[in-house]
Amino acid sequence: MTLALIAGRGDLPAAVHRAAGGAVVCGYEGVTLSGLTADLTFRLETLGTLLVQLGERGVTEVCFAGGIDRPTLDPTKLDAETAPLVPLFMEGLKKGDDGALGVVVDLFERTGFTVRGAHEIAPDLLAEGGVYGQVWPDAQMRGTATLAAAHLLKLSPQDIGQACVVGRHGVIAMEDADGTDAMLARVAAQGQDAILFKGPKAQQSRLVDLPTVGPATFEAAARAGLRGVVVDAGDVIVLDAPACTAAADAHGLVFWARTGE
């Protein structure tokens, strides 16, 4: 088995690379990788050529990890291997983030590659059920988390995001294409007993784009005045759990992986 890592922003690609014991790293043009150097660089208009190159290198499995902004298609940059794929791209780009990712995953699979989720390669990264730090959720926070989970489930068909900020009086903010950190930067939740909640959308593929938290998430949550960070156990990736726990404890935040819901 030879693995190719389609790497985007953040620390997840490097964590998956370590867990896999190495991989052919494929970086999207213009995206700065953290802790990795790209072996191959591509863009949407050269994806067909990337597929050929991976086959030539003996790659059999592919993993997508890290953030990449939704691309636009520039016809002037299309290469010969990718031009026949344009109708697929255009259809996928109309379907929202999940639809676009689904088209790309399907393309890799139809080309003969096995697509593996980051959590399959690095299962230790999945959130384990329970309270990670020293501060425990109270009854009010448990109720707020239930409300937040229901809100994400309700909005799943709109393909908006995988996180929201919810307080005792209701939803304060919803993640959009700018991501969790940008949402938290917009929030002033002091005094509202608010939490950040992260979980997957309904019927979301587990092969790509599982929600993720890392130490920076807890720093941003503290700056926003939140009481805690709550995630769905088994469905959210935790980057550097000890550092996340230390950050939560340092700021007096709850760090809870919710189970059985």
Which tokens belong to 207?
């092969």
pTM over 0.95: no
**Surface-to-core class of residue 39, CB atoms within 10 Å of its CB (0-12 exposed, 13-18 middle, 19+ buried):** middle
Ranges in the chain annotated CATH 3.40.140.80: 126-258
**Regarding the domain delimited by 3-121, which CATH topology (the fold level of the hierarchy) does it fall under?**
Rossmann fold (3.40.50)
**Average pLDDT for 99-128:** 90
Distance CA 215, CA 31 (A): 21
Query: Tens of pLDDT along 185-239?
Result: 988 765 568 999 999 887 777 888 889 999 999 999 999 999 999 999 999 999 9
Query: Tens of pLDDT along 153-174?
Result: 888 877 778 999 999 889 999 9
Which tokens belong to 57?
């290198």
Regarding predicted confidence, which is higher, 178 or 96? 178
From 125, 182, 241, 176, select the one nearest 256 (Cα to Cα).
241
- State what percent of residues in the chain have pLDDT above 90: 66
3-class SS string, 181-213: HHHHHHCCCCCCCCEEEECCCCCCCCCCCCCEE
Q: For tokens 């900020």, what's the residue?
A: 165
Query: Could you tell me the sign of the dihedral formed by the alpha carbons of 37, 39, 45, 47, in that order?
Result: negative
**Regarding the domain delimited by 126-258, which CATH topology (the fold level of the hierarchy) does it fall under?**
Cytidine Deaminase; domain 2 (3.40.140)
Ranges in the chain annotated CATH 3.40.50.20: 3-121
Query: Tens of pLDDT along 133-152?
Result: 999 999 999 999 999 999 99
